[in-house]
Structure 1
């Protein structure tokens, strides 16, 4: 169960970073990263684990360190 909580926490952190970067929608982040919007949604909701590749793309789009988005 602990792993699930960590995934949710990382998803919330990702969503907060997206909004702070003035990227208002998951679709907009998907366009900036090349990651499909359904995967962005799953990541923010903690339904999917973050890969280092996705974390790096997201960090490039929102700023910050990619390791912030890894559980």
Structure 2
């Protein structure tokens, strides 16, 4: 699997986790995590790689282990 496809896969996983947690918008997740909405958008679209710091903040809001959100 190419790197790009892996990144997109993890972006889709983040989006599914956000919707499962009943967080309907990227902006709402951004407010809850303190990560900018532009970064959340880039992560979900596979345009940016997840950092451990962001993964930890996202896991605190969405649940699961922070490593679940790493690519």
Alpha-carbon RMSD across the aligned residues, in angstroms, is: 1.0
Distance 1:46 1:70 in 2: 12
Length, aligned pairs only:
71
Match of 1:68 in 2: 68
Match of 1:47 in 2: 47
Match of 2:21 in 1: 21
Structure 2: runs of 5 or more not aligned: none
- Structure 1 outlier segments of 4+, above 3 Å: none
C-alpha deviations, 1:5-50, integer Å up to 9, x for none?
A: 1100000000000000000000000000000000000000000000
Match of 2:36 in 1: 36
Distance 1:61 1:5 in 2: 25
Instruction: Provide the secondary structure at the position in 2 that maps to 1:49.
Output: coil
Structure 1: runs of 5 or more not aligned: none
